[in-house]
Amino acid sequence: MKIPKITKAKDKETEEKFNKLIEDKILELKSQVADQAKSDYDSYKKEGVEFHKYEVYSEFKVTYNKNNFLSIPLRTYYYTGGAHGLTIQYGYNFDLNKGTEVSLRELFTEGFDYKSIINKEIKNQIQEKKDEYYPELKFTSIEDNQTYYVDNDDLVIFYQQYEIAPYSSGIREFRIPLDNFKDSIKIHK
């Protein structure tokens, strides 16, 4: 399992807070899968059924680290039997000066209508590849607590497997150039 370690935040307390937030998420999943494996192993053993190994792993990449803003998409994967495992992605976005997580709304200047730009881009990208999404999908808007990360010059809005498309389509990511937001995005100044 790969767990990022943040350094060079405003102080050690902030670094520890960010690191604990991410580490706790990964270790929580590891613990849940281990508990499930033990329970299932005991059940399978009683029933005389062969038990197959469960697995958990995580990976991350620092995709933006400029102007005291750090963005890290973290992917976890777990397999507990069945047809396939499940990947879950998290977007961790930190203001290293303030020592806070940055929500999507907080990424933009006060009063800026970032949602309409993002919604338009997502609708266009879905339309371009509509056969990869659920046929009944009627995308209207991102959520107030929408997951995201920043990757160099792009804002990346993402949805988990099954959320808006079948498993085979994977985690759906929508890349929107930061330039689309002009001077209203705080980190691009």
Return phi, psi of residue 143, to 5°.
-85, 160
User: How far, CA to CA in Å, does 112 sit from each of 71, 77, 108, 118, 138?
Assistant: 21, 36, 7, 12, 25
Dihedral of CA atoms 17, 22, 26, 29 in degrees, nearest 10, equals 80
* Assigned token pair, 178: 């930061």
Q: CATH classification of 108-189 is 3.90.870.20, yes or no?
A: no
Residue 188 pLDDT greater than 70, yes or no: no
Q: Assign a CATH topology to domain 1-102.
A: Heat Shock Protein 90 (3.30.565)
pLDDT at 189: 54
Contact assessment for residue 143 and residue 119, using Cβ atoms and an 8 Å cutoff: no
pLDDT at 83: 85
Model confidence pLDDT, tens digit, residues 131-182: 999 989 899 999 999 999 999 999 999 999 999 999 999 999 999 999 999 8
- Spell out the domain ranges in the chain: 1-102, 108-189
Model confidence pLDDT, tens digit, residues 12-36: 888 898 999 999 999 999 999 999 9
Indicate the length of the chain as a whole number. Answer: 189
pLDDT at 187: 86
For residues 61 and 63, give the distance between their C-alpha atoms in angstroms, rounded to a whole number: 6
